[in-house]
Amino acid sequence: MSDLLHQIRRIPVFGPLPDKYLEEIARSARRILVDAGDIIFSQGTQGETLYFILDGAVAIWKDQGDNETDLLAVYGPGQMFGELALIDDVVRSATVVAREPCELLGIEKNDFQRITSGDAVSRTFMKSLSLMVRDRTELFTQILKQHKRRLNRVGSELADAREELAVRAARRNNGRRELLWQTAGVMELLRIMSAVDHSPGAGPRRDIIRDIAWLSRRMADAPEPRRMEMSDLLNRVTGNLFRSLDIHRTQVRVEINAPGVRLMYRDAAAVALIARELTANALVHAFSGERSARVQLEMEQNDEILLRISDNGGGCDPPPEISPSKTPGLHAVSQIVLELLGGSFAIESDGGFQATVRFPAWKPSTDFI
């Protein structure tokens, strides 16, 4: 009894009371031991007991509905909880859970009402309740401020997300327009090549139409910005050309050197057409007899695109005249490079044939990049 009386005297709300009231509280109260995680009472249940914490700590949780629960407070030794349900006979407004093993002092509702009927005890309780309401009002205000800051942060994040979605949508639209412009350029490339479809020795050009169709599908499925790995495309173009001309790979060695070169749709299509035509020219005209044939395709990419195609054939001196009638394939390449791409086209034919093509890279709009 004396040990419990000593513990009760250390509780702030009982500190000012004379010993006779403390002894009455000690006779009416009961010790309660709970483990960490135990629910002391649940929100919505009827309140029958007032609790004081002698040792340990408890957490006060508020169920907000929609599976949302807020931590309102954590109480420690000397603090009380569960008093409001005893005063106004309303169900518990929150759930209390032990955060650690606790020793509690419990006073039942009837004993609480009998003890607080005395003037001294009543005044002490009312003063303590007033301070408690003030503290909890401040706590509630802080919680509201935290929720407001959280809502403002979420609102700002939503606004940023909407802005980002709008930017992405604009980029997609710009990307579609960009692709349409490039497609128009590819159609013009094909139109120029169609004019030389029956040039002697170059073989049927249906293979390049298939290559452009394959390229178009790859570009349509590619992530933005859409670019093509040129080593893959040149390997496909030369492989199809060999089949079209009925030439075996063992007869001619083709070397492709285009490390890291990735081009936009129009530029990739232009290089495919040019490489096809110049490689066909080398395969058909450059080699005779038992000569070991080699064709090299080299590419570089900076602000301009460089394509160099060379062979170790017999060559001719002087270089062939480029004209629609004599060299329709080379004439088509010249048209594409000079007129459509705004670049330069040079050929050398001494100890083999070499063609060098340079043109500015297609520059997409800033929004598309």
Mean pLDDT of 41-47: 88
pLDDT at 172: 62
- Could you tell me the two tokens for 250? 């063992």
Which has the minimum average pLDDT: 62-71, 90-99, 258-267, 290-299?
62-71
DSSP state of 61: E
pLDDT at 212: 76
Query: Between the ranges 24-33, 40-49, 98-107, 251-260, where is the mean pLDDT highest?
Result: 98-107
String of DSSP letters for 221-243: HSPSSP-EEHHHHHHHHHHHHHH
Q: Which fold does the domain 2-117 belong to in CATH?
A: Jelly Rolls (2.60.120)
pLDDT at 321: 67
Nearest to 175 by CA among 369, 368, 365: 368
Mean pLDDT of 238-243: 84
Q: 3.30.70.250, 3.50.50.60, 3.30.565.10, 1.10.10.60: which CATH number matches 169-368? A: 3.30.565.10
- Could you tell me the two tokens for 344? 């330069």
Task: State pTM to two decimals.
Answer: 0.49
SS3 call for 206 = helix
Name the pairing type of β-strands 293-301 and 252-257. Answer: parallel
CA distance 142 to 138: 6
Domain residues of the chain, as ranges? 2-117, 169-368
Whether the CB-CB separation of 348 and 319 falls below 8 Å is answered with: yes
Query: Between these two residues, 115 and 258, which has the higher pLDDT value?
Result: 258
Tens digit of each residue's pLDDT (9 = 90 or more) over 319-338? 666 665 567 778 888 888 88
- Could you tell me the two tokens for 234? 């040149």
Tens digit of each residue's pLDDT (9 = 90 or more) over 79-135? 888 877 666 667 888 899 999 999 999 988 888 777 776 665 565 666 566 566 656
Which has the minimum average pLDDT: 127-141, 177-191, 193-207?
193-207
- In this predicted structure, the answer to whether residue 202 has a pLDDT above a threshold of 50 is no
Sign of the CA dihedral with 356 first, then 238, 349, and 320 last: negative
Alpha helices in 47-203 (DSSP H): 84-88, 109-115, 119-194
pLDDT at 126: 60
Count CB neighbours of 308 within 10 A: 17
Grade residue 359 by pLDDT with cuts at 50, 70 and 90: very high
- In this predicted structure, the answer to whether residue 183 has a pLDDT above a threshold of 80 is no
pLDDT at 101: 96
Which has the minimum average pLDDT: 61-65, 164-168, 268-272?
164-168
Grade residue 201 by pLDDT with cuts at 50, 70 and 90: very low
Nearest to 328 by CA among 239, 218, 208, 198: 198
| Orientation of helix 265-285 relative to helix 230-245, angle to 10° | 40
- In this predicted structure, the answer to whether residue 358 has a pLDDT above a threshold of 90 is yes
